[in-house]
Amino acid sequence: MTILLLGYGKMGKTIEQIALDRNHTIVGRIDVSNRADMDRLTDDAVDVVIEFSSPEAVVDNLRYCIGRGWAVVCGTTGWLSQRAEIEAAVRERGSAFFYASNYSIGVNLFFRLNKTLAKFMHNYPSYHVSMTEIHHTEKKDAPSGTAITLAEGLLNNLPHKHRWAVSEEGKPAAGNTDDAIVIDSVREGTVPGTHIVRFESDVDRIEISHVAHNRQGFAIGAVIAAEWLASRQGVFGMDDLLGE
């Protein structure tokens, strides 16, 4: 399979090594310094694009790739207000798009555990739900896409909560948060990603967490998603992949 890497930071380099180990070919490594190099690739030169760039660049990148008819696996977060537009363009073009806020198999199992716990807790409003996500200082968006996915899983199962709100670096979330799930976003060191969901009452606390030790889990999942997507058309996510 031929892969175009869009975004060639630490994650892009990790994905590259795993793809090469799995006998795939990298036909391009694109970042802000050489974006014009994509124009030199023919439409049939690329089987799948793996896009891990930045919130500022991702939408333009996706529009470009969809216009070329390339299948895209996207792991960039911080752009989902325009997701409906991108998915409509994919369907109109007849191409393929795979998005996940997190490609780690362990995290996606954690998503399911989170929903199950919320279903257990929805009859016990005396427990206050909150979240903490911790990432390296180079991560640009807050809260993380993974944290938002976790919050959405909680909101779908906790009728007394209607939104999420973010606090950053110890600052309280703005406004009245009685109906909100507060996400504390922390940026420190080189942390690959830690997510904690807690339900706390006056007498005890229930807590689940996922701690990533490195980027390997995210990168392996992205390459597996690319392999899965290469022969398909449509809009997909990790539930589609894990369902098989």
The annotated binding site for NAD(+) is made up of 75-77, 100-103
The annotated binding site is made up of 35, 75-77, 100-103, 136, 145-146
Distance CA 15, CA 222 (A): 7
Q: Are 153 and 134 in contact (CB under 8 A)?
A: no
Tell me if residue 128 is catalytic. no
Closest CA to 152 of 197, 194, 211, 103: 197
Of 135, 161, 195, 210, which is the active-site residue?
135
Q: Which two tokens stand for residue 117?
A: 């716990």
183: left (phi over 0), alpha (psi -120 to 50) or beta: beta
The annotated binding site for (S)-2,3,4,5-tetrahydrodipicolinate is made up of 136, 145-146
For residue 72, give the 3-state DSSP assignment: strand
Q: What are the two backbone dihedrals, phi and then psi, of residue 48, each rounded to the nearest 5 degrees?
A: -145, 140
Q: Are 150 and 196 in contact (CB under 8 A)?
A: no
Of 24, 115, 139, 140, which is the active-site residue?
139
For residue 74, give the 3-state DSSP assignment: strand
Beta-sheet pairing, 96-99 with 163-168? unpaired
Distance CA 50, CA 223 (A): 8
Tell me if residue 135 is catalytic. yes
Q: Are 198 and 183 in contact (CB under 8 A)?
A: no
Beta-sheet pairing, 205-211 with 194-200? antiparallel
The annotated binding site for NADP(+) is made up of 35
Q: Which residues are catalytic?
A: 135, 139
